Amino acid sequence: MQDENQVNQMEEEEVRSICEGYYIIKKLGIGKDAVVKLGQKGHEQVAIKFLKVKNEQERPEIIQKLQQEVQILEQLHNHDGIVKLKYFSDNLTYIKKNGQIVYKIGMILELGEKGTMIQYLLSLKRFDEQISRFYFRQLMTALIYMKGLNICHLDLKPDNIVFDSDFNLKITDFGYSKQVQGLINDFFGGTKNYMAPELLGSIAYDGSKVDVFAAAQILFAMMTGCFAFNNCKEQLYNLIKQNDYAQFWNFQNKQHQTLFPQGFPDDFKDLINRMFDSDFNRRITPEECLQHPWTMGVEAKLNQIQDQFNQVQERINQQLEQQEEEHKRKKQRIREQERADQEMRNLLQQSQQSYKSGNSQKKNPMINKKRQLMKKFKFTFENRVLKRSLPTKMIDEILIYDDPKNLFCSIIEHFDKCGKIINIHETKYKLNVNIMENDQEKQEMLIELKKLEGDKLRVEVLNLGDDFIKFNEEIQNLKQSIQQQTDEVEIQQQ
C-alpha cells in the first residue's frame, strides 16, 4: 500500500515516462551506443539501459549486440563485483509523457546506488593509497573471475565502475565485452585514454591483458587524480610504448611532487610498469596483480571509506541535480530556438508567397516587425492559443478587427517603446508589463488578447498597480498606438 501511495504521489507531482512499470526519474549516462536512465517502481530503483537504434535496417544488429551482452551478464551473475541483469527485451514497453507507446531495445540492471567512481574522483580529486588499494583488489578479483570464464570487458574506466549501497565496487557496461578463448582479432575499439598499444596496432590480442592495461590507468587516476597519459598520441604514451619508464617516472615525479615529495613508492612504480608493458605477452596478469607486493600492503577498511565517501555524496548529488537542471534548461532553449527558427521560416515563406502574388514585402510591413520582435524577445506563435472571451462589455477593453499575431506584435512593440515587458506567456496571447518613468516603476499591468464573435478581438487589460489614473492613461495610450499602427499598415498596403 505504501508503494502505491508513493507511485501515486509521483504521478501527481510530475508526469513521467514509464518503462515496464518503472517510472523514469532521470538520465544517468549517455554513450555512443546507449543511454542509461534511472527507473523507479515503489522503493526499488534500477538502471535501464536503452540501446540506440538509428534506423530499422540496423535493428537486427542492435538486437544481436543486446543478446551478446545479456549472455555475458547472465554468466557473471553470481559475482558481487559485477552488476546483475534483472530483465531484458528487444521490445521494452515505453510509455512517453504524452501517452504515446513505443518499443525499445534494452535491459534493466541492478543500480549502483552510490554512483560512479568517476564522480567521487572528480569530487575528492584523488583517493588515498589505502583506499586505492582496497578498490584495486576488488577490481582484480572481478577480472580474475571474468578471466576464468574467458570474458574480457574491453572498456574498463572509472565511468563504468559503480558503487553499491555499501560502497563496494561493481563493474558495469559490458557493451564491448567478449567471451573468447585465445586471441581477439575482430574488435579494436574502446576509450582512447585507456587503450593498450596492441589495439592501436590492430593486431590479435589477449582481452584480459587489455583490461589489465586499462586497470593501470584507473589505479594511477585513483592515486593521483590524473591520468598517466591523456591520449595515445602524446609523448608520455610513446614512452610507455617504448618501455622507457625512467623518463616516464621522471616526468610523473615532477608533476606530482606535492603528493609524493620523495617520489612514487618503488613497489607502486613496479606494478604500474608491469601493467603498462607494451608487449602484452610480458604484461602482468590479473592474478599476478593481486599478488604483487604493492597490492598486498595495508588497505582501508570499508567503514572508513563509507565515512569519507558519505560526506561527499550529498555534494555529488547536488552537482548532478544542477547538471540535470542545466541540461533541461539547455534543451528548453534549443526547443525555443527551433520554434523561433520555424516561425521565421514560416514568415519568410509567407513573405515570398506574398511577393509572388504581387504583394511585395514592402506592402506587408508586419512581417519584418514580427521577425524583429520575435528575435528580440525570444517568443514564437507555435502552440500559442487564442482564448475565447465572453461577449460582455468591459470597462478596460479595446475591441478591434485584426490578425491576432499582428495585434499581439503591435502591443509588444508599444510597450517595448514606452515600458518594460516582464514576461511573455508561452501558450497564450498574454504578457505582463511594468511602466517605467525615470527608472522607477509607475504601473504594473496584465494584458491578454482574446477572441470574440466573428473576427473581432478583445484586448483585456488588468490593473495590478495602485495608480488608477495612470492606469487609464496607459489604456488610452495603448488604444492610440494600436490605431496608429493599424492606420500605417493600411496606408502602406494601398
Q: Please report where in the chains the cell 515563406 appears, as a residue.
A: 349
Q: Are 222 and 136 spatial neighbours (Cβ–Cβ below 8 Å)?
A: yes
Amino acid at 80: D
pLDDT at 438: 66
For the chain, the residue count is 494
Strands (DSSP E) found in 313-438: 397-401, 420-424, 430-437
pLDDT at 493: 54
DSSP-assigned beta bridge partners for residue 58: none
Give the Cα-Cα-Cα angle 280, 217, 242 (nearest 5 degrees): 45
DSSP-assigned beta bridge partners for residue 215: none
What does the domain layout of the chain look like in residue ranges? 1-111, 113-300, 379-493
Q: Does domain 379-493 have CATH number 2.60.40.10?
A: no
Q: Give the span between the Cα atoms of 260 and 71, in whole angstroms.
A: 44
Q: Give the span between the Cα atoms of 70 and 174, in whole angstroms.
A: 9
Strands (DSSP E) found in 354-408: 397-401
DSSP-assigned beta bridge partners for residue 421: 433
Residue 284 neighbours by CB under 8 Å, 6+ apart: 212, 271, 274, 275, 277, 292
Ramachandran class of 438: left when φ > 0, alpha when ψ lies in -120 to 50, beta otherwise: left
Q: Give the span between the Cα atoms of 245 and 142, in whole angstroms.
A: 28
CATH class name, domain 1-111: alpha beta
Q: Does domain 113-300 have CATH number 1.10.510.10?
A: yes
Q: What is the pLDDT along the chain (494 residues), one digit of tens a residue?
A: 444 455 445 444 568 999 999 999 988 888 888 999 999 999 999 999 999 998 888 999 999 999 999 999 999 999 999 999 999 999 999 999 889 999 999 999 999 999 999 999 988 999 999 999 999 999 999 999 999 999 999 999 999 999 999 999 999 999 999 999 999 999 998 888 899 999 988 899 999 999 999 999 999 999 999 999 988 778 999 999 999 999 999 999 999 999 999 999 999 999 999 999 999 999 999 999 999 999 999 999 999 999 999 988 877 777 777 766 776 677 677 777 777 667 767 766 766 666 555 544 444 556 777 788 888 888 888 888 888 876 655 555 677 777 888 888 888 888 888 777 778 888 888 988 887 776 666 778 888 888 887 678 888 888 877 666 777 778 888 888 887 777 665 555 55
Amino acid at 190: G
Judging by DSSP bridges, how do beta strands 151-152 and 44-51 pair with one another? unpaired
pLDDT at 397: 64
Indicate the pTM of the whole model: 0.66
Concatenate the DSSP letters of all residues of 345-357 into one string: HHHHHHHHHHHHT
DSSP 116: B
pLDDT at 421: 78
Q: Give the span between the Cα atoms of 197 and 205, in whole angstroms.
A: 10
Q: Give the span between the Cα atoms of 245 and 222, in whole angstroms.
A: 20
Long-range own/partner contacts, residues 317-326 (CB < 8 A, 24 or more apart): 319/123, 320/115, 320/119, 324/26, 324/27
Residue 458 neighbours by CB under 8 Å, 6+ apart: 389, 394, 397, 398, 399, 449, 450, 451, 452
Question: What is each CA distance from 250 to 330, 343, 481, in whole angstroms?
Answer: 44, 61, 76
Torsion of CA 326, 330, 333, 335, to 10 degrees: -130
Q: Give the span between the Cα atoms of 205 and 421, in whole angstroms.
A: 66
Q: Please report where in the chains the cell 507511485 appears, as a residue.
A: 7
